[in-house]
């Protein structure tokens, strides 16, 4: 974290101002008129500019005089104070480089300074009158009136907790995202975070509310815990949904299909990301009303979801975000893989959804063995054999699938035989071209499902890290997310922050407004949450470790997994276990990933505490059926000032193109740990897969794992500069992910001819 500063409410006096001057500034200052933010005019005061520049540069490895000099040529008569501020920001950004990365913090502080001044002009005060802010925003229907559960005295006391210094910790990218995406009109950052904390604690017992609110606020404001976008953006406003991730499934009838399209619209309206499983829908050429070859298959319905995502555009912020999942045995898989290609019938294309394929172990075994695979129509299989193939996994799927293949040309007439390896190559070609489909390993998902007694997991969510049981018309998976910021955590912080994160998220379940009934029922029955993390690359760099440091990575995620699970057990003592707990794997003494205590005795650094935890859970239950999930955090990590999720940095320093121009992006410890940040664009992805597999052992839901393959010569093979990565290398890496127990693969990205080929989606809709 950067050095903190006292928040000035008036221009600061500078110890340099009497002795150091910029000739360009002083020679013209008496002739330049400046327009203040309130519209009045005054003579340019160099002392004020210098004071702000000094303040913005304090404690950073930059030369304040250079920033003053850069401003000289941009001054003119009639310039506004806002233009001066914007010019200072532009100068700071232009001077930012790998050698002087701290200029991005100078620009961030100047951005925050501008926000402070605008707020002062607009409402007449900055910090210091929190009660007044709350009352005004409740009256204007900008704040949820549930904040008034606190008395005026309590709100005044909470206002004293505000530490404006925390506003100065943001670099430019973080400051811009925070102010533009999350703040309400005339609202300051610490007011937003404090209001979130108070609301999160509002469901606590009255005597404990302020205690927990303060803990929540300090963890969030110090950027040790990051709230997912739906919580940070929607919690303060009346009627907001706090849920990041949803999964729904369609049955093979019009009522279910259109009902789930409506649910997709409701989710999108509230800013959530949704996964829609369509595996039950009959294939192209199937029967409709006893007429052969009448069905148009899954593509027309996917196109309907595609257009819904565009039409219901999250309140005008962006298009909806929908991933559509299809099991790999479905007859329409080949067309599904082509629905985002430019060629072909445009009426059967869907360019705005994110496809995912759900792969059972049997398919992967046949891919490796180069055996044939059979694509079938789920309607015919159900009608003629009574098998609902979409619900099956593991041994049950293997046996049913063998029975189906034994009935080909007899009871099963609509099918295709294809070599499994060739189909997998088709999948890989689509991934290299578009970054998708995502891959979900269905048997791995369901083996680790603690609620297999109560249903099954059909696929993954938009960012591939969150999933649980889904029953069409009854329950729709939904999950609320936060992330631990490892860049800002010391080892001693992890137990407390894990416990705070679990409690905070459990509270959101009682505060949120689910957008439809099936989501509400899922919340009630399973109480699914997802504590994730970001800044792993920073955590490793700070300790001079690498992604090869599997022992240390194991120990870190063992700590996270243990303390989050233990916290949920403690909550069960206090509040009761989730309703579906009886009969679950948790209730039978199985722990993270439905693994027996014997596994922990062999693999954990502290096995005795796991054995006790298993006993405690059997005695007291557990509050949440799923507890940990690591989201991609692409945007929120910028606000948090750390690297995204658990992946290496793409590049140690680069400029991102934003609407306001190019913005410098660098990890927080780049000054002191430059060479300890491996660049993902040149890192062998086998190392990434092995690291994620190590983490996955301690994460009970999933991890957003995107893979980045550099196709240039000599990158991975320094001893053979002519060799570049080939399809076999990528194939082996994807197979390794399945064999190592990874649950899903998010985007596949490629670098070719030193250009980063973007095959990405801004995951704001889901996690951040």
- Among all residues, which ones are annotated catalytic? 461, 463, 465
For residue 437, is the peptide bond before it cis, meaning its omega torsion is within 30 degrees of 0?
yes
Percent helix, percent strand, percent coil in the chain, to nearest 5: 50, 15, 40
**Enclosing H/E stretch for 715:** none
DSSP 122-154: HHS--SS-HHHHHHHHHHTT-S-GGGGGS-HHH
* Dihedral angle, C-alpha 630, 636, 637, 640, nearest 10 °: -120
Tokens coding 411? 């009871």
3-state DSSP assignment of residue 396: helix
- Give the contacts of 279 (CB within 8 A, at least 6 positions apart): 249, 325, 326, 327, 330, 358, 378, 389, 390, 458
Cβ(607)–Cβ(561) below 8 Å: no
CA atoms within 13 A on the CB side of 667: 33
766: its two tokens: 């889901």
Helix, strand, or coil (residue 210):
helix
CA distances to 133, 270, 617, 692 from 241, in Å:
23, 6, 30, 30
134 touches 184 (CB < 8 A): no
DSSP 476: -
Q: 324 pairs with which residues across the strands? A: 276, 355
Task: For residue 140, count other CB atoms closer than 10 A to its CB.
Answer: 11
CA-based max dimension of the chain: 96
Q: SS3 for 161-194, per residue? A: CCCHHHHHHCCHHHHHHHHHHHCCCCCCHHHHHH
d(CA 99, CA 84): 26
Q: How far is CA 618 from CA 239, 316, 456, 498, 577, in A?
A: 37, 47, 22, 21, 11
354-359 and 438-441 beta bridge pairing: parallel
Closest CA relative to residue 189, chosen from 133, 139, 271, 136:
133
In sign, the C-alpha dihedral spanning 737, 243, 247, 636 is: negative
Residue carrying the six token digits 């007694």:
453
Rounded Cα gap, residues 54 and 13, in angstroms: 9
CA dihedral 221, 227, 233, 238 (to 10 degrees): -90
Q: What phi, psi does 223 have (nearest 5°)?
A: 60, 45
Give the residue from 650, 654, 653, 646 showing the smallest Cα distance to 670: 653
């Amino acid at each position: 974290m950067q050095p903190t500063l006292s928040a000035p409410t008036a221009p600061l006096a500078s110890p340099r101002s009497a002795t150091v001057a910029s000739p360009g500034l002083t020679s013209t200052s008496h002739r330049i008129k400046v327009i203040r933010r309130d519209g009045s005019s005054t003579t340019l005061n160099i002392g004020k500019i210098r004071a702000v520049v000094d303040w913005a540069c304090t404690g950073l490895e930059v030369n304040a005089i250079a920033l003053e000099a850069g401003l000289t040529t941009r001054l003119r008569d009639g310039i506004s104070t806002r233009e001066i501020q914007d010019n200072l920001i532009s100068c700071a950004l232009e001077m930012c480089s790998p050698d002087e990365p701290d200029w991005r913090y100078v620009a961030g502080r100047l951005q925050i300074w501008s926000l402070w001044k605008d707020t002062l002009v607009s409402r007449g005060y900055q910090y210091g009158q929190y009660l007044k802010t709350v009352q005004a925003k409740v009256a204007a229907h900008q704040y949820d009136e549930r904040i008034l559960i606190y008395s005026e005295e309590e709100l005044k006391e909470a206002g004293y907790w505000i530490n404006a210094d925390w506003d100065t910790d943001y670099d430019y990218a973080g400051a811009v995202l925070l102010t533009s995406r999350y703040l309400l009109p005339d609202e300051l950052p610490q007011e937003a975070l404090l209001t979130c904390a108070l609301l999160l604690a509002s469901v606590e017992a009255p005597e404990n509310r302020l205690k927990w609110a303060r803990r929540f606020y300090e963890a969030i404001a110090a950027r040790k815990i990051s709230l997912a976008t739906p919580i940070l953006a929607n919690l303060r406003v009346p009627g907001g949904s706090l849920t990041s991730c949803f999964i729904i499934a369609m049955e093979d009838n019009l009522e279910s299909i259109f009902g789930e399209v409506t649910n997709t619209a409701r989710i999108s309206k509230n800013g959530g990301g949704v996964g829609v499983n369509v595996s039950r829908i009959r294939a192209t050429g199937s029967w409709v009303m006893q007429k052969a070859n009448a069905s148009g298959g899954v593509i027309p319905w996917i196109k309907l979801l595609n257009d819904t995502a565009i039409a219901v555009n999250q309140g005008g912020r962006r298009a909806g975000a929908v991933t559509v999942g299809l099991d790999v045995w479905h007859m329409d898989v080949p067309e599904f893989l082509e629905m985002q290609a430019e060629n072909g019938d445009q009426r059967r294309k869907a360019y705005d959804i994110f496809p995912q394929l759900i792969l059972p172990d049997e398919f992967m075994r046949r891919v490796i063995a180069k055996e044939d695979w059979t694509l079938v129509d789920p309607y015919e299989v159900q009608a003629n054999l009574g098998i609902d193939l979409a619900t099956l996994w593991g041994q049950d799927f293997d046996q049913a699938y063998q029975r189906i293949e034994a009935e080909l040309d007899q009871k099963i007439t609509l099918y295709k035989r294809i070599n499994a390896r060739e189909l997998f190559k088709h999948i890989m070609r689509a991934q290299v071209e578009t970054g998708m489909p995502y891959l979900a390993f269905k048997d791995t998902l369901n083996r680790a499902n603690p609620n297999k007694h109560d249903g099954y997991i059909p696929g993954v969510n938009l960012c591939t890290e969150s999933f649980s049981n889904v029953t069409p018309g009854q329950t729709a998976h939904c999950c609320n997310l936060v992330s631990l910021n490892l860049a800002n955590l010391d080892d001693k912080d992890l137990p407390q922050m894990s416990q705070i994160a679990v409690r905070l998220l459990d509270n959101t379940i009682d505060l949120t407004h689910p957008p439809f009934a099936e989501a509400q029922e899922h919340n009630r029955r399973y109480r699914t949450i997802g504590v994730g993390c970001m800044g792993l690359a920073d955590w490793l760099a700070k300790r001079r470790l690498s992604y090869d440091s599997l022992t240390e990575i194991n120990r870190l995620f063992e700590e996270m997994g243990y303390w989050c699970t233990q916290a949920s057990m403690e909550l069960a003592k206090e509040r009761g276990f989730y309703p579906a707990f009886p009969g679950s794997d948790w209730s039978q003494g199985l722990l993270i990933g439905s693994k027996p205590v014997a596994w922990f005795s062999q693999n954990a650094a502290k096995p005795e505490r796991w054995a006790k935890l298993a006993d405690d859970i059997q005695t007291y239950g557990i509050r949440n059926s799923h507890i940990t999930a690591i989201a991609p955090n692409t945007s929120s990590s910028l606000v948090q000032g750390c690297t995204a999720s658990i992946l290496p940095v793409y590049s140690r320093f680069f400029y991102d193109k934003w609407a306001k121009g190019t913005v410098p992006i660098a990890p927080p410890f780049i000054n002191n740990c430059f060479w300890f940040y491996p660049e993902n664009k040149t890192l062998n992805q086998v190392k990434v897969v092995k690291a994620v597999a190590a983490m996955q052992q301690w994460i009970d839901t999933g991890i957003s794992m995107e893979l980045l393959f550099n196709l240039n010569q000599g990158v991975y093979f320094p001893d053979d500069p002519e060799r570049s990565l080939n399809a076999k290398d990528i194939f082996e890496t994807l197979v390794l992910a399945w064999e190592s127990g990874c649950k899903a693969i998010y985007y596949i990205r490629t670098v070719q001819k030193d250009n980063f080929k973007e095959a990405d989606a801004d995951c704001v809709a889901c996690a951040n």
